[in-house]
Structure 1
Amino acid sequence: MDELKDLILDKAKDRFDRFGFKKTTMDEISRDCKISKKTIYEQFKDKEDLFICLFIRESRKAREIIFARMGEIIDPLDKLIQLVKTATSYFNEDNFLTRLLKSNDDLFSPFLIMKYRCIAEEEVISIIADIISEGKKQGKLRDVDEKVTAYAGLKLFQAFSYMQTMEFCKEKEAQGYYTDVLVDFLVNAIIKK
């Protein structure tokens, strides 16, 4: 991505994070960038396109951060366990992507329609499915449908992280108790016995 596009996305991110999608205008973003609105429209079709590009960029950054924190892990089961632990830790941090995904108000609703959320989830499901497939090839994981299992794992992960609907005990959460429960559940569901 070029410097101009990154500048626009950075300034838009600050605006969206502070005021939400609805209350942010392209005029404000152009003023923050110190460029004309026309220049922004040369890079992005409209405000929603800008927001979608920002979401995709932030999702890719999150994936890079998570995998960098994990390090190189060869064993597929260990890789899945570390992926869940690292991703849970990341999504418990206070960052733009987490705030966006946790948002219960309508500030970001134009983007959070199913079509775009599915695009982001499909990427994650594919990564998890590849790890499961490798584990099956090595004889370490049960013969399960990788895509369906990856989808179920992602939905469970979401329920234990940014889409939590149940109140967790803060002390247990800080100790990683709920992450351990999730990992134990997932491992026992797919490990070959």
Structure 2
Amino acid sequence: MEDIKNLILDKAKERMERFGFKKTTMDEISKDCKISKKTIYEHFNDKEDMFSCLLLRECHKTIELLFAQMGAVSDPLERLIQLTRKAIGHFNQDHFVTRILKDDELFLAFINRKYHEMIDEEIISMIAGIIREGKQQGRFREVDERIVAYAGFKLFQAFSYARTGPLRQEQNEQHYTEVLIDFIVNALVKK
């Protein structure tokens, strides 16, 4: 059952990447999957539901990928630094999820607030866990890890896919990443 659902989502992703959401039809996805439209509708209410499921799946894959890239780093500060660098690098590239997140109209139209909050909450909880660990080790100041994780996540968004203005021409992406890391380190590390 999950295999068919993932096949449908894979083919929908391929088609949407190539032609966009509006030009992708359920008939085309059905042909690409070599299954009936009835089978597609057994898994998804409509194209919007399928797109929401696809976006959620891809967001979770991205989260898993980014956290897996940190490997077995035991130092919480180093994990936060690596996570920040890798995430900004990832979201400044042209990935399916990044294109969707940058397309405010499409993203907001199909990922309802419940799903959006669910994804944000998952990420914030993971970051808060790293901060909590740093506090327990005595490396980080006594801070409210949920609030700091939330603020850090919002800053990350501002430095990557949710940027609302251009960066100064004389500075590159790496410079802005290092400024954000410096800010995070100075906000958390005990002196």
Same fold (TM over 0.5): yes
How far apart are the structure 2 equivalents of 1:148 and 1:107? 29
Are 2:52 and 2:111, in contact at CA under 8 Å, matched by a contact in 1?
no
1:168 aligned residue: 167
Deviation at 1:156, TM superposition (A): 0.2
How far apart, in 1, do the equivalents of 2:163 and 2:157 lie? 7
Q: Distance in 2 between matches of 1:146 and 1:107?
A: 32
Q: Are the counterparts in 2 of residues 132 and 141 from structure 1 also a CA contact under 8 Å?
A: yes
Q: 1:169: Cα distance to partner?
A: 4.1
Counterpart of 2:186 (choices 179, 185, 188) is 188
Identity %: 59
* SS of 2:154 mapped into structure 1: helix
Question: How far apart are 1:108 and its partner, in Å?
Answer: 4.0
Deviation at 1:170, TM superposition (A): 5.8
Report 1:107-186 matches (<5 A): 107-169=106-168, 172-174=171-173, 176-186=174-184
- Quick one: structure 1 residues 31 and 170, their matched pair in 2 at CA, closer, same or farther if it must change by over 3 Å? farther
For residues 57 and 107 of structure 1, the distance between their equivalents in structure 2, rounded to whole angstroms, comes to 16
Can you list the C-alpha shifts for 1:20-50, whole angstroms capped at 9, x where unaligned? 4344322222122121111011122322221
Residue pair 1:129, 1:146 contacting (<8 A) in 2 also: yes
Give the drift of 1:171: 6.5
Alpha-carbon contact 1:20-1:108 (below 8 Å) kept: no
TM-score by length of 2: 0.91
How far apart, in 2, do the equivalents of 1:136 and 1:177 lie?
A: 28
Structure 1 equivalent of residue 76 of structure 2: 76
Instruction: Report which structure shows greater RCO (CA 8 Å, sep ≥6).
Output: 1
Q: What are the ranges of 5 or more consecutive residues in structure 2 without an aligned counterpart?
A: none
The structural deviation recorded for 1:181 is 0.3
Amino acid at match of 2:134: G
- Give 3-state SS (helix, strand or coil) of 2:109's partner: coil
Query: Which secondary structure state, in structure 1, belongs to the residue aligned with residue 164 of structure 2?
Result: coil
**1:139 aligned counterpart, secondary structure:** coil
- Cα distance in 1 between the residues matched to 2:39 and 2:89: 38
Secondary structure of 1:21's match? coil
Aligned partners of 1:19, 1:173: CA distance in 2, in Å?
32
Describe the shift of the 1:110–1:155 C-alpha distance in structure 2 as closer, same or farther (beyond 3 A): same
Paired residue total: 191
Deviates more, 1:133-142 or 1:58-67: 58-67
* 1:35-92 CA distance string (max 9 Å, x none): 1111011122322221222112111211222123222110111111111011111111
Say whether 1:3 aligns with 2:15: no
